[in-house]
């Protein structure tokens, strides 16, 4: 009897120990062994602003100064249009200013009305010069920012028109991440919060800061891999200040908040 009681006692102790070990193991898994539970992570994409470089005036393309894939600096010339007509208009406008200034000098001894008319004509001539100079300047399209030329949509001899895109430029100097965070996690985030970014091509994670959190939720965009993911409500989040990391637009990264 004593031996049987002792066995039952040992079995009871064993069961308690097993239960405790299972509970401790589960807790350790949640806190240490399961990073996703302790530190929510989502997959984001590297993105960059794209500029559509369009003509501001009509004219024939005389030079295309870059090729697809070229890296350019801000204000670098990209495309030139025929500026002969604009240059001629500028010369004529400058001659009108000279004549108007002469009329102002002549009107100094005339009536107040004549002086007023002469001054008005001079202002009109000066405005015409400014407009003509603007047309000449607009015959050359310069890079609005440093970046990489991604597409050239014109060629020498083609006719450009106001608003017609001639090439596209990707701002590779200000990359940012775009991610979609589930409702359950979005409320825990705030602008300027620092996050950790894991890039497969780099051994160490990099840091970034949340720059934007959408005010309203949306269904996960069609870029999500499964229908189940697309059915979830999420908040768009953007992350900037990525430092000098070797990132390229289109890359996928893991973001830990």
Q: What are phi and psi of 109, to 5 degrees?
A: -100, 10
Q: Which residues neighbour 57 within 8 Å (Cβ) at sequence distance 6 or greater?
A: 81, 86, 135, 138, 139, 160, 162
- pTM greater than the 0.75 cutoff: no
The Cα-based distances of 198 to 78, 99, 130, 177 in angstroms read: 36, 68, 52, 12
- Position 257 scores a pLDDT of 86
Q: Which residues neighbour 248 within 8 Å (Cβ) at sequence distance 6 or greater?
A: 46
Same domain, 78 and 107: yes
Q: Is the pLDDT confidence value at 21 over 80?
A: no
Tell which of 115, 136, 170 closes a domain.
170
Same domain, 54 and 163: yes
Same domain, 122 and 214: no
- Position 37 scores a pLDDT of 46
- Position 35 scores a pLDDT of 46
Element (H, E) at 195: strand 194-198
More confident site: 70 or 222:
70
For every residue of 10-53, DSSP letters joined together read HHHHHHHHHHHHHHHHHHHIIIII-HHHHS-EEEEEEE--EEEE
Same domain, 55 and 161: yes
- Position 25 scores a pLDDT of 54
Same domain, 32 and 85: no
Same domain, 137 and 220: no
Q: Is the pLDDT confidence value at 139 over 60?
A: yes
Same domain, 113 and 144: yes
* CATH (domain of 230): 2.40.30.170
Supply the angle between the helices 112-137 and 84-106 in degrees, to the nearest 10. 160
Structural domain boundaries enclosing 224: 40-49+173-256
Q: How confident is the model at residue 24 (pLDDT cuts 50, 70, 90)?
A: very low
Q: What's the CA gap between 140 and 82, in Å, rounded?
A: 9
Q: What is the pLDDT of residues 192-214, one digit of tens each?
A: 999 999 988 888 888 999 999 99
Q: What is the pLDDT of residues 79-138, one digit of tens each?
A: 999 999 999 999 999 999 999 999 999 999 889 999 999 999 999 999 999 999 999 999
Task: Domain count for the chain, please give it.
Answer: 3
- Position 72 scores a pLDDT of 97
- Position 147 scores a pLDDT of 94
Nearest of 186, 224, 248, 230 to residue 43 by alpha carbon: 224
| Mean pLDDT of the residues in the chain | 85
For the segment 160-182, the average pLDDT, to the nearest whole number, is 94
Tell which of 118, 138, 170 closes a domain.
170
Q: Is the pLDDT confidence value at 23 over 90?
A: no
Q: What is the pLDDT of residues 26-51, one digit of tens each?
A: 544 544 455 444 456 899 999 999 99
- Position 20 scores a pLDDT of 45
Same domain, 86 and 145: yes
Q: Is the pLDDT confidence value at 225 over 70?
A: no
CA triple 31-185-256, angle to 5 deg: 60
């Amino acid at each position: 009897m004593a031996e049987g009681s002792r066995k039952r006692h040992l079995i009871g102790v064993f069961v308690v120990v097993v239960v405790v070990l299972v509970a401790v193991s589960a807790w350790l898994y949640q806190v240490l062994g399961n990073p996703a539970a302790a530190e929510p992570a989502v997959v984001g994409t590297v993105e960059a602003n794209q500029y559509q470089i369009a003509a501001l005036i009509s004219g024939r393309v005389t030079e295309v100064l870059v090729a697809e894939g070229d890296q350019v600096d801000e204000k670098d010339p990209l495309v030139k249009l025929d500026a002969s007509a604009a240059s001629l208009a500028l010369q004529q406008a400058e001659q009108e200013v000279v004549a108007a200034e002469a009329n102002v000098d002549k009107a100094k001894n005339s009536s107040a009305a004549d002086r007023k008319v002469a001054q008005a004509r001079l202002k009109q001539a000066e405005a015409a010069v400014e407009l003509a100079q603007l047309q000449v300047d607009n015959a050359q399209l310069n890079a609005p920012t440093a970046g990489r030329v991604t597409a050239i949509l014109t060629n020498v001899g083609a006719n450009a028109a106001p608003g017609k895109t001639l090439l596209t430029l990707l701002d590779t100097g200000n990359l940012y991440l775009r991610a979609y965070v589930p409702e359950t996690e979005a409320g825990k985030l705030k602008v300027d919060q620092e996050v950790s970014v894991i890039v497969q091509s780099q051994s160490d994670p990099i840091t970034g800061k949340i720059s934007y959190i959408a005010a309203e939720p949306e269904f996960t965009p069609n870029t999500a891999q499964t229908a189940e993911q697309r059915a979830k409500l999420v908040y768009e989040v953007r992350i900037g200040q990525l430092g000098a990391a070797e990132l390229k637009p289109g890359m996928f990264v893991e973001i830990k908040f």
